[in-house]
Amino acid sequence: MLDVAAARFKAAGFGGVSFAEIAEDAGAVPSQVTYYFKTKEALFVEAACREMLYLARDAEIASQAATSTSAYLDIMVRSVLGAPGLSLFVEALALAHRRPALREQAQRTFERLDGESARAMVEYRARRGQTAEHAATHAHRFWTIAIGMGARGAATGEPLEFLVSEMLELLGDR
């Protein structure tokens, strides 16, 4: 159900999808969807958080072949900005802001994003015989900026290349 919901939500956003459509695509009945997720909002946030973690994993895998820290960040930024999973997550955060019951899932996702990204950075640098001082801070900064740039891009329609350039600049000394 989460795979179907994520695909539907990425294509149409929160307002463009119903429990009935998700249930039909998943080969279930709407009451099964409500049994597991209670509300459409809870399903949306769960699907968006999951997609964000998949996006982070895929970006980290793509960046492993980078030959420098600068290239690593460039690949990460280009993999994340403009991705449907980032837009979905930004929308889910706005929803969680209005629905306190949904905040715990968002908080767990942030903790995983920061933790997994710090681990990936430490491993990447270690493979190159380098230390990764302040990896947790760098990971947290990366995701904070990425989410902000994702929200900005969604709200303004600014070109992806501009957003990438801005994010790389904000990350500073790469």
Rg of the chain over all Cα atoms, to the nearest angstrom: 17
Residue range 14-33, pLDDT digits in tens: 889 888 899 898 888 888 88
Residue range 121-154, pLDDT digits in tens: 899 888 888 888 888 999 999 999 999 999 999 9
Report the C-alpha gap between 23 and 47 in whole angstroms.
Answer: 14
Q: Is the dihedral of CA 97, 103, 109, 113 positive or negative?
A: positive
- Domain 44-171 fold is Tetracycline Repressor; domain 2 (1.10.357)
Residue spans of the domains in the chain: they are 44-171
Query: Which pTM value belongs to this model?
Result: 0.90
